[in-house]
Amino acid sequence: MKDELLRELRERIDGLDDGIVRLLDERTAVSVEIGRLKREAGWDICDPSREESIYRKLAQSHGGILPEGALREIFREIISASRALQAPMAVSFLGPEASFSHQAALAHFGHGIRIVPQASIPEVFSEVEKGDSLRGVVPVENSAEGSVKATLDALITTPLAIRGEIFLRIRQGLLSTCGDLKAIRKVYSHPQALAQCRKWLQTHLPGIPLVEMESTAGAARRVLEEKTGAAVGSRLAAETYGLNLLAGGIEDNPSNTTRFLVIGPKPERNDGGITGQGKTSILFGTTHVPGALHRALTPFAAAGINLTRIESCPMRDRMWEYLFFVDFVGHMEEAGTRACLKDLEKQTATLKILGSYPRGEEPT
């Protein structure tokens, strides 16, 4: 009886799978036609606001037993594969392969991209500025270690815009070619990764030297050649380089999160971001007089706009004068945001709009 029921259910699954494939083919054909129209119009093949609106619509209409996160991941790969058929999409990131920036790029764009690892953050910006990559992914701040100065410095001078943000929960593991924790004689990783796991390392590997590397993925590649070495890195790095995961979740703070920015050319048309789900990043400088910063922030308070981040950065060519990076809720095409920025411009010496983009989904 059970065998017969199982056979019937499997036949039903087979029928549903056939239907899903037909619908995917139909959806892909429409997507390819959209890509053709975009190319003829000279529009960007990647439309983050449109993609985000798809995810939000799915979440609102979804009432089944499939978890919302799983549904989002499935459609991210459907959209990624469709986008790849519209036009090949190269994405640069702080490498090497299997770095957390690589992980963030896959989480945002899916696997239908051509990955282009770069050795430094300035090289990511350069690759996108030259047009060799359509997008770049760079870390901008970590919940435990603070801001990434190289990214802030690059934002000051780049002609590119911020086109999206990604929040990635940082899960660290101890990776090695050997299978015994007692055999480890050195631990390699990026300075921030070592700092994020300091308590665990002191408890489980007391007295073992910690060696700083340019990246967690670089550390993983290093221990391929060193049988008594271990690297602090991601599960993706372990899978990519064929290493054993000796321990997982070794970060001291389980809520440790890094925010990444997606950078790209400024949109030639509105991203379609007037949805109530936008965020804007700006950079401004004030005159070196008392109350200047207070006056600059007054338009935000008057407009009831929520600031999600403000950070000062010293001007390189002017001693004791500062630029301020500000993120706030709202899209620059919204009337209230436009009015606020117009008032802000009157109160500042310099103002640069870094970009408006869909708000990223923060880990809970």
Read off the pLDDT of residues 161-215 as tens digits, 9 standing for 90 and up.
999 999 999 899 999 999 889 999 999 998 888 998 999 999 999 999 999 998 8
The pLDDT value given to residue 276: 65
- Which run of H or E residues covers position 258? strand 257-264
With beta carbons less than 8 A apart as the criterion, state whether 28 and 82 touch. yes
pLDDT per residue as tens digits for the range 221-278: 999 989 899 999 999 999 999 999 999 999 998 888 999 999 999 987 655 455 567 8
| Domains of the chain, residue spans | 45-169+257-266, 173-248, 267-358
The dihedral sign for the CA sequence 83, 141, 159, 266: positive
Classify domain 173-248 at the CATH topology level: D-Maltodextrin-Binding Protein; domain 2 (3.40.190)
Of these residues, 258, 280, 337, 348, which one is catalytic?
258
pLDDT tens digits for 6-47?
899 999 999 999 999 999 999 999 999 998 988 888 888 888
Closest CA to 118 of 109, 110, 128, 108: 128
Residue 150 in contact with residue 122, Cβ under 8 Å?
yes
Does the pLDDT at position 319 exceed 70?
Answer: no
Is the CATH number of domain 267-358 3.30.70.260? yes
Strand partners, 164: 262
Judge whether 220 and 229 are in contact, CB under 8 Å.
no
Contact (CB, 8 A) for 94 and 124? yes
In the block, residue with structure tokens 């953050």: 121
Helix (H) or strand (E) holding 100: helix 100-109
pTM given for the model? 0.85
Residue 260 is a catalytic residue: yes
Note the pLDDT of residue 273.
52
Q: Determine the topology of domain 45-169+257-266 in CATH.
A: D-Maltodextrin-Binding Protein; domain 2 (3.40.190)
**Hunting for tokens 């870094």 — which residue is that?**
354
Annotated catalytic residue 258:
yes
312 against 62, higher pLDDT: 312
Helices and strands counted in the chain (H then E)? 12, 15
Answer whether residue 139 shows pLDDT above 90: yes
Q: Do domains 45-169+257-266 and 173-248 have the same CATH topology?
A: yes
Predicted pLDDT of residue 50: 83
Residue 322's pLDDT is: 80
pLDDT per position as a tens digit, 56-104: 888 888 777 888 888 888 999 999 999 888 888 999 998 888 888 999 9
- Residue 331's alpha-carbon distances to 230, 337, 339, in angstroms, are 45, 6, 12
pLDDT of residue 317: 65
Options 100, 260, 284, 300, the catalytic residue: 260
Give dist(CA 41, CA 1) in Å, integer. 60
Q: Which residues pair with 93 in a beta bridge?
A: 117, 137
Look over the chain and give the mean of its residue pLDDT values, rounded to a whole number: 90
Nearest by Cα to 44 from 53, 54, 52, 34:
34
